[in-house]
Amino acid sequence: MSFLPTNPDFETRVRESFAAQNLMATLRAEITHIAPGEVTIEMPFSDEFTQQNGFVHAGITTAIADSACGYAAFTLMPATASVLSVEFKVNLLSPALGERFIARAQVLKPGRTLTVCRGDVFAVKDGTEKLIMTMLATMIAKSL
Protein backbone atom coordinates (compact mmCIF):
# COMPACT_ATOMS: atom_id res chain seq x y z
CA MET A 1 0.00 0.00 0.00
CA SER A 2 1.16 3.53 -0.65
CA PHE A 3 -0.38 6.63 0.89
CA LEU A 4 -0.36 10.33 0.09
CA PRO A 5 0.28 12.54 3.14
CA THR A 6 -2.05 15.54 3.53
CA ASN A 7 0.57 17.44 5.52
CA PRO A 8 3.91 17.87 3.67
CA ASP A 9 5.62 18.49 7.04
CA PHE A 10 4.59 15.10 8.40
CA GLU A 11 8.15 14.07 9.20
CA THR A 12 8.88 17.16 11.30
CA ARG A 13 5.62 16.77 13.19
CA VAL A 14 6.34 13.11 13.97
CA ARG A 15 9.87 13.91 15.17
CA GLU A 16 8.64 16.78 17.37
CA SER A 17 5.94 14.68 19.01
CA PHE A 18 8.30 11.74 19.48
CA ALA A 19 10.85 14.05 21.15
CA ALA A 20 8.11 15.06 23.61
CA GLN A 21 7.52 11.44 24.69
CA ASN A 22 9.72 11.18 27.76
CA LEU A 23 9.25 7.42 27.84
CA MET A 24 11.04 7.08 24.50
CA ALA A 25 14.12 8.86 25.93
CA THR A 26 13.92 6.71 29.07
CA LEU A 27 13.94 3.62 26.84
CA ARG A 28 16.71 5.14 24.66
CA ALA A 29 14.36 4.50 21.73
CA GLU A 30 14.77 6.29 18.43
CA ILE A 31 12.92 6.63 15.17
CA THR A 32 14.84 5.00 12.35
CA HIS A 33 12.30 5.27 9.52
CA ILE A 34 9.48 7.65 8.60
CA ALA A 35 7.47 7.47 5.39
CA PRO A 36 3.80 8.12 4.59
CA GLY A 37 1.92 5.51 6.61
CA GLU A 38 5.09 3.94 8.04
CA VAL A 39 7.23 4.45 11.14
CA THR A 40 9.98 2.32 12.68
CA ILE A 41 11.18 2.71 16.27
CA GLU A 42 14.21 0.88 17.70
CA MET A 43 15.49 0.46 21.25
CA PRO A 44 18.42 -1.40 22.84
CA PHE A 45 18.01 -4.10 25.44
CA SER A 46 18.33 -2.81 28.98
CA ASP A 47 18.18 -4.74 32.21
CA GLU A 48 15.89 -2.10 33.77
CA PHE A 49 12.89 -3.10 31.67
CA THR A 50 12.75 -6.88 32.09
CA GLN A 51 10.15 -9.30 33.41
CA GLN A 52 10.85 -12.25 35.72
CA ASN A 53 12.78 -14.35 33.14
CA GLY A 54 15.09 -11.54 32.05
CA PHE A 55 13.18 -10.87 28.81
CA VAL A 56 11.99 -7.35 28.01
CA HIS A 57 8.56 -6.85 29.60
CA ALA A 58 5.59 -6.99 27.22
CA GLY A 59 4.57 -3.50 28.35
CA ILE A 60 7.81 -2.11 26.96
CA THR A 61 7.64 -3.82 23.58
CA THR A 62 4.00 -2.69 23.54
CA ALA A 63 5.18 0.89 24.20
CA ILE A 64 7.41 1.03 21.12
CA ALA A 65 4.81 -0.77 18.98
CA ASP A 66 2.08 1.63 20.15
CA SER A 67 4.23 4.71 19.49
CA ALA A 68 5.23 3.36 16.07
CA CYS A 69 1.58 2.68 15.17
CA GLY A 70 0.49 6.09 16.45
CA TYR A 71 3.14 7.91 14.44
CA ALA A 72 2.49 5.81 11.33
CA ALA A 73 -1.12 7.04 11.55
CA PHE A 74 0.05 10.58 12.35
CA THR A 75 2.05 10.81 9.08
CA LEU A 76 -1.27 10.81 7.20
CA MET A 77 -3.16 13.24 9.44
CA PRO A 78 -3.74 16.92 8.65
CA ALA A 79 -1.57 19.62 10.28
CA THR A 80 -4.44 20.54 12.60
CA ALA A 81 -4.71 17.09 14.20
CA SER A 82 -3.04 15.34 17.10
CA VAL A 83 -3.07 11.56 17.51
CA LEU A 84 -4.17 9.33 20.39
CA SER A 85 -4.40 5.56 20.77
CA VAL A 86 -7.94 4.20 21.01
CA GLU A 87 -7.12 0.54 21.56
CA PHE A 88 -4.68 -2.16 20.60
CA LYS A 89 -4.34 -5.91 20.71
CA VAL A 90 -1.04 -7.67 21.03
CA ASN A 91 0.00 -11.29 20.46
CA LEU A 92 3.28 -12.29 22.05
CA LEU A 93 4.90 -14.74 19.65
CA SER A 94 8.32 -15.37 21.20
CA PRO A 95 10.28 -14.17 24.25
CA ALA A 96 11.65 -10.61 23.94
CA LEU A 97 15.23 -11.77 24.03
CA GLY A 98 17.91 -9.84 22.14
CA GLU A 99 20.29 -6.91 22.01
CA ARG A 100 17.91 -4.67 20.15
CA PHE A 101 14.18 -4.40 19.41
CA ILE A 102 12.63 -2.98 16.26
CA ALA A 103 8.97 -1.95 16.03
CA ARG A 104 7.81 -1.55 12.44
CA ALA A 105 4.34 -0.06 11.99
CA GLN A 106 2.24 0.57 8.93
CA VAL A 107 -1.20 1.95 8.27
CA LEU A 108 -3.72 -0.65 7.10
CA LYS A 109 -6.63 1.75 6.66
CA PRO A 110 -6.41 5.51 7.04
CA GLY A 111 -9.51 7.53 7.88
CA ARG A 112 -10.60 11.05 8.69
CA THR A 113 -11.32 10.08 12.31
CA LEU A 114 -9.92 6.57 12.84
CA THR A 115 -6.81 4.92 11.41
CA VAL A 116 -6.07 1.21 11.77
CA CYS A 117 -2.42 0.13 11.96
CA ARG A 118 -0.38 -3.02 12.26
CA GLY A 119 2.88 -3.11 14.19
CA ASP A 120 5.41 -5.92 14.32
CA VAL A 121 8.21 -6.07 16.87
CA PHE A 122 11.42 -7.92 16.04
CA ALA A 123 14.21 -8.92 18.41
CA VAL A 124 17.73 -8.72 17.01
CA LYS A 125 20.04 -11.37 18.43
CA ASP A 126 23.49 -12.07 17.00
CA GLY A 127 22.51 -10.03 13.96
CA THR A 128 19.36 -12.04 13.20
CA GLU A 129 15.85 -10.60 13.37
CA LYS A 130 13.00 -12.60 14.85
CA LEU A 131 9.34 -11.59 14.99
CA ILE A 132 8.37 -11.59 18.67
CA MET A 133 5.13 -9.59 18.81
CA THR A 134 2.38 -8.35 16.54
CA MET A 135 -0.02 -5.49 17.29
CA LEU A 136 -3.31 -4.45 15.67
CA ALA A 137 -4.21 -0.91 16.75
CA THR A 138 -6.79 1.85 16.26
CA MET A 139 -5.67 5.48 16.38
CA ILE A 140 -7.85 8.60 16.48
CA ALA A 141 -7.21 12.08 15.05
CA LYS A 142 -8.12 14.79 17.54
CA SER A 143 -8.50 18.44 16.51
CA LEU A 144 -5.88 20.58 18.24
What letters, b where the CB count within 10 A reaches 16 and e where it falls short, cover 48-78? ebeeeeebbebebbbbbbbbbbbbbbbbbbe
What three-state secondary structure class fits 142? strand
CB of 60 to a second copy, least distance (A): 6
Which of 49, 76, 98, 104 touches a second copy (CB under 8 A)? 49
Q: How far apart are CA 51 and CA 88, in angstroms?
A: 21
Determine which residue in the list 11, 35, 57, 129 makes contact with a second copy, applying CB under 8 A: 57
The span from the CA of 11 to the CA of 70, in Å, is 13
Count of residues touching a second copy (by CB under 8 A): 46
**Applying CB under 8 A, which part among 2-10, 19-27, 37-45, 121-129 lies near a second copy?**
19-27
- Name the residues that contact a second copy, by CB under 8 A: 17-18, 20-23, 26, 47-53, 57-60, 62-64, 66-67, 82, 84-94, 108-109, 113-114, 116, 118, 131, 134, 136, 138, 140
